[in-house]
Amino acid sequence: MSPRTEDPTSVRQSVIKQQCIVLRLPTIASQCNALAEQAERERQPYLSYLEALLAAELEDRERRSIDRRIKEAHVPRVKTLDEFDFRQAPTVSPTQLSELVQGGYLERAEPVVFIGDSGTGKTHLLEVLIATEQNYVEWKVKTFAPSFDQMGLWIRGL
């Protein structure tokens, strides 16, 4: 009987995955084999393969960063401006809210505070603002309130 020998390619793949784990590159670890096979099939140059790996890692990190920030904001469910019932809050301007969703207040470092009676939509509007993806790419959003009826929004650049 001959001793069992392992395929050199599978050994390399295992070593690469372990190195990626140590370097905290989970997406590269999970996608390197599939992208390597694709690059080989398509006869891509090495730099194209490396570019694809790094792009996948960056994209996944950005997605996880946004998910983490939404979780840190303790928002129970992501809501949209389309779901907001303006009839329950006639003093709320749809135009002004649309402008807030665009994120200009972030560039101007302006605070946003929602004040009103219970049931007027403060939490909903806050969730709309902090769930807007552009707010998470460059800004960290924190909420503070003794209760959800007295909610404020604190924003600072990273």
Residue 75 has a pLDDT of: 57
Beta strands in 24-138, from DSSP E residues, in sequence order: 112-113
Residue 24 has a pLDDT of: 94
Neighbours of 148 (CB within 10 A): 12
CB proximity list for 15: less than 8 A, separation 6 or greater? none
In this prediction, the residues of the chain whose per-residue pLDDT falls under 70 are 1-5, 73-78, 131-158
Residue 5 has a pLDDT of: 67
Residue 146 has a pLDDT of: 44
Residue 153 has a pLDDT of: 45
CA nearest to 75, candidates 136, 154, 142, 139? 142
Residue 150 has a pLDDT of: 41
Q: What are phi and psi of 132, to 5 degrees?
A: -70, 120
CA 100 to chain centre: 19
Is the pTM of the predicted complex or chain greater than 0.75?
A: no
